[in-house]
Structure 1
């Protein structure tokens, strides 16, 4: 299926911030839990997952994203704290959260959700919760106590900022070594 892309809309992170998040991963790595850590080049804040999309749909998608970004101004996000889905006692997805800028991200997600539904994309099932995924525990993992304890006792405060000036349409190619992301288009706020 060469004419199909697996796409999502996201905020790409600055290299300095990616480096700081990688340091957090390195501190968390010393627990014995099997975690598949996100490659530092793949850190981002997802706004809307689109799934499989044909090349023919790209121009309509780009047009709708541009329509949304023309309504939104740049803003600052504060990356703060650690968490997990579904919770810290059962950490399947390990993430760092967004404090300042959360309302703006939720609004941006809502706008994108609306315009993409109008193009025929499915609505999200879960409530949108802005975050940056750091890693995912193995499906076979049964003992979460070590990583849970590590997350709850994390040794330093996470408090980083980034100015959000654009969003990106990103292609995700799944490989045996993990996903490879390629930015197809950028849209200034």
Structure 2
């Protein structure tokens, strides 16, 4: 049972199927020695963020889920593909290593806009930056290590395609592995 003052750090995301997680994990395992990131994401935590909501009382998850169900009305399952790799941050020391997302981007962007609009009605403030869907693989490049972006340009990995049938609300559990716990799921009915 949640404490009265307890807060959960939550976000809305597209979950990934096991075969995609396994392909991403295998690629990371092959490249960890050449890419000196301090923190590699646990494969169970791979996802595509739709919207970060932040600290939220647990008793609001039902209200958020109801808004997301309404936002998902009419959204049909759609296909995405995880492929290529890139990074955010300074080229010499990137903050994030990511796998790219391709495929049916129009439904994904529409979903993201609907999710943001639904959560804005509940008091959540939309981010100012443009939406860039991706799958975070690692964070915090180690200082003193030289990052060579050519390593990623030489790579054209294809991690696989899948049909997106739902979005979830994840709760972040700091210092736990896996770190993200699914607390609600909204299926796409079409």
TM-score (norm 2): 0.88
How many residues matched? 185
Mapped partners of 2:103, 2:22: distance in 1:
20
Partner of 1:99: 102
Aligned-partner SS, 1:65: helix
Partner of 1:26: 29
Shift of residue 89 of structure 1?
A: 5.4
**Which of 110, 135, 139 is 2:138 aligned to?**
135
Partner of 1:5: 8
Aligned-partner SS, 1:145: coil
Mapped partners of 2:68, 2:173: distance in 1:
21
Aligned-partner SS, 1:99: strand
Give the CA RMSD over aligned residues.
Answer: 2.0
> 8 Å contact 2:14–2:49 — kept in the other structure?
yes
| Structure 1 unpaired stretches of 5+ | none
Partner of 1:174: 174
Distance 1:32 1:48, change over 3 A: closer
Partner of 1:188: 187
> 8 Å contact 2:82–2:101 — kept in the other structure?
yes
Distance 1:75 1:87, change over 3 A: farther
Aligned-partner SS, 2:150: helix
| Structure 2 unpaired stretches of 5+ | none
> 8 Å contact 1:174–1:180 — kept in the other structure?
yes
> 8 Å contact 2:84–2:100 — kept in the other structure?
yes
Partner of 2:17: 14
